[in-house]
Structure 1
Amino acid sequence: MLKKISVFLVILLLLACDRQSETEKQIEKVPVDLEISRFDQEFAAATPQDLPKLKNKYPFLFPEQYPDSVWLAKLQDTIQLELNTEVAKAFPDFSLEEDKLHALFQHVKYYFPQFQVPEVITITSEVDYKNKALYTGDYLFIALDTYLGEDHQFYIGIQDYLKKNFRKAQILPDAANEIAETLVPRADSRTFLSHMLYYGKLLYLKQLFIPAESDAEKMGYTAEELDWAAANEDQIWRYFIENELLYDTDSELYSRFLYPAPFSKFYLQLDNESPARLGQYIGWQIIRSYMEHNEVSVERMLKTPSEEIFNDAKYKPKK
């Protein structure tokens, strides 16, 4: 009997892989016209005489309330010059990232045909790590000085849990997340469950948009952090249930389990071992379970209320 079940499971797995492979073949055919502008390089190479031309080409990067003297001073600023040098070392060529962004946009357009491919503009931002990537609809800005590697000297003084994702490998997940945020409706209530599923929807879109990236990279976790979350999924869920957190509206739960932090806050001895944002991880697993057990489109899922998703997800944490 067990042998028959295992054979059946293998067949199901193979069929799922075939469907995924066929989907990827279709996605590869999606036409995408990608334009990447290296503003970081153009600004680094500019002379004072080039400023009018740059302002004409990128008016949105030169707010009118600032006089030209600000930008002329910036061209010669020692910190800016150092940023230019370090970014040039790390990103002399952007072709690998270009290929990945091209694939990202193909995936987004496959699932959301109305999506318009933005112009990608690489910049430096004086290490504005709260805006590493910024999607406006027409443009996707990528601040390359926030992806120089977690040990870079520019990041001294920044907390470890933040700078561990200041890596090239996070450019694609950050870009995917920026786009996903424009597609996922905000949480439909103040409950912890609603906010968990909001992040779960974001992560599910990232799963669709960047399937070649590891789940750890999608989460912004290390491999060890993802392993910890997977190994303890049942205990995490039990904690949420036993403490009646799902329908709790205490906003402190967001900082404990959803927002970036050194670790999640169960107020137990294991806290220091745990990765942050475990509520996001659980939300992702609930959305995955919902999509596995219900014949609904991605767009329909995004519009479905959180409580309905939870009731129909048949979610059972892995033990």
Structure 2
Amino acid sequence: MMSRILFVFFLFLSLISCDSASKREKEIEKIPLDFKIVRFDKLFAEASPQSLPQLKEDYPYLFPKQFADSVWINKMKDTIQLEINREVAKKYPDFSETEDEFYSLFQHVKYYFPEFAVPDVLTITSEVDYKNKTIYTGDYLFVSLDTYLGEDHKFYIGIVEYFKRNFTKDQIVPDAANSIAEKYVPRAKARTFLANMIYYGKLLYLKDIWLPKQSKWRKIGYTQEQWEFAENNEEMVWRYFVDNELIFDTDSNLAPRFLYPAPFSKFYLSLDAETPDRLGQYIGWQMVKSYMDKNEVSIKQMLNTDAEIIFNNANYKPKK
């Protein structure tokens, strides 16, 4: 009898939560926005030495003054740049679908952070600078389209697989959301593994609420299989962290083992090769979610809350 009552109670809570989320999404859909998508990659590809002065006048922030015009003219003629132009034009003849995704992303950021100034989005090429795929400055959001041509593209030969798997079109908006989130999440003050886990957890929490229609694995940059491993082994991962007293450890090697992109997470166990990388980020995300579910705090308060306070009040219990 008691189990039936509990089932009905939790079903009731679930229905209330779903109804609340639906109302919130309807409110978000009404938020008006005014921004532009500028295909600067196309503008530069079609430019000539004669039209360069006008291009520089229109987009001065893309032409650092320390570089002479000859640098840009030579780039226009460069065979590698010309090939990049062709490949990007072939992959992205139209950008309207991604523009709609940006519109939704910006609406969600604006809803949770009303002071957010919606940036113009400029698509560029960067000679495959995959360490800076998206850059958010406040006024502008830059997207390097030559880093989103598909993981098997010939330009990416020699780049490690764990980077290449996210060189895809459907990763553009999650990457952009991460660049924006970095402006709102203070860097970890402490050097502990916990502080850094919570830092990434806060970033992922923002991406989660800003991109409700995106798959969970895209938000963290996993494949679906990697996500399923993380979900199915959450308790094992957390137990390893606790049993090996890593939570408050300040060892700098913990970041490359569990927080940074890598072929896999490094438990120094035989199963390592089967694990996804960045499992510390995943645990930090779940901890922040637990904290927000169980405490009456605003998102802005959470973002400025110390990692240990979040840890102590999250009552985090990993899935079994």
Q: TM-score, normalised by structure 1?
A: 0.99
Q: Aligned partners of 1:60 and 1:206: how far apart in 2?
A: 28
Match of 2:172 in 1: 171
The 5 A counterparts of 1:175-190 are 175-190=176-191
Shift of 1:48: 1.4
Match of 1:203 in 2: 204
CA contact (8 A) 1:134 1:142 kept: yes
Match of 2:73 in 1: 72
The 5 A counterparts of 1:248-287 are 248-287=249-288
Match of 1:154 in 2: 155
Aligned amino acid, residue 153 of structure 1:
K
Structure 1 residues 200-209 or 24-33, which shifts more?
A: 24-33
Match of 1:17 in 2: 18
Q: Aligned partners of 2:138 and 2:208: how far apart in 1?
A: 21
Q: Aligned partners of 2:117 and 2:32: how far apart in 1?
A: 11
Match of 1:308 in 2: 309
Structure 2 residue matching 1:275: 3-state secondary structure: coil
Match of 2:118 in 1: 117
Structure 2 residue matching 1:109: 3-state secondary structure: helix
1:137-164 superposed Cα distances (whole Å, 9 cap, x missing partner): 1110000000000000000000000000
Shift of 1:119: 1.0
Q: Aligned partners of 1:279 and 1:114: how far apart in 2?
A: 31
Q: Aligned partners of 2:30 and 2:300: how far apart in 1?
A: 21
1:91-110 superposed Cα distances (whole Å, 9 cap, x missing partner): 10000010000110110010
Structure 2 residue matching 1:186: 3-state secondary structure: coil
Q: Aligned partners of 1:159 and 1:103: how far apart in 2?
A: 32
CA contact (8 A) 1:237 1:282 kept: yes
Aligned amino acid, residue 280 of structure 2:
G
Unpaired runs of 5+ residues, structure 1, are none
Unpaired runs of 5+ residues, structure 2, are none
CA contact (8 A) 1:197 1:286 kept: yes
Q: Aligned partners of 1:189 and 1:93: how far apart in 2?
A: 45
Structure 1 residue matching 2:263: 3-state secondary structure: coil
Aligned amino acid, residue 169 of structure 2:
K
Match of 2:129 in 1: 128
The 5 A counterparts of 1:25-104 are 25-104=26-105
CA contact (8 A) 1:290 1:314 kept: yes
1:200-229 superposed Cα distances (whole Å, 9 cap, x missing partner): 000000011111101100010000000000
Q: Does 1:231 align with 2:232?
A: yes
Between the aligned residues of both structures, percent identity stands at 64
Shift of 1:4: 2.2
Aligned amino acid, residue 103 of structure 1:
S
Q: Aligned partners of 1:194 and 1:297: how far apart in 2?
A: 20
Q: Aligned partners of 1:174 and 1:198: how far apart in 2?
A: 16
CA contact (8 A) 1:188 1:306 kept: no
Aligned amino acid, residue 145 of structure 1:
D
Structure 1 residues 309-318 or 10-19, which shifts more?
A: 10-19
Q: Aligned partners of 1:183 and 1:176: how far apart in 2?
A: 11
1:162-221 superposed Cα distances (whole Å, 9 cap, x missing partner): 000000011010000000000001112000000000000000000111111011000100
Aligned amino acid, residue 134 of structure 2:
A
Structure 2 residue matching 1:182: 3-state secondary structure: helix
Structure 2 residue matching 1:239: 3-state secondary structure: helix
Q: Aligned partners of 1:122 and 1:108: how far apart in 2?
A: 20
1:60-107 superposed Cα distances (whole Å, 9 cap, x missing partner): 111111111111111111111110111001110000010000110110
Moved over 4 A (4+): none
Match of 2:289 in 1: 288
Count matched residues: 319
Q: Aligned partners of 2:45 and 2:304: how far apart in 1?
A: 44
Q: Aligned partners of 1:100 and 1:34: how far apart in 2?
A: 13
Q: Aligned partners of 2:305 and 2:45: how far apart in 1?
A: 47
Structure 1 residue matching 2:158: 3-state secondary structure: coil
Shift of 1:263: 0.3
Aligned amino acid, residue 144 of structure 1:
L
Q: Aligned partners of 1:106 and 1:188: how far apart in 2?
A: 30
Shift of 1:121: 0.5
Q: Aligned partners of 1:282 and 1:267: how far apart in 2?
A: 18
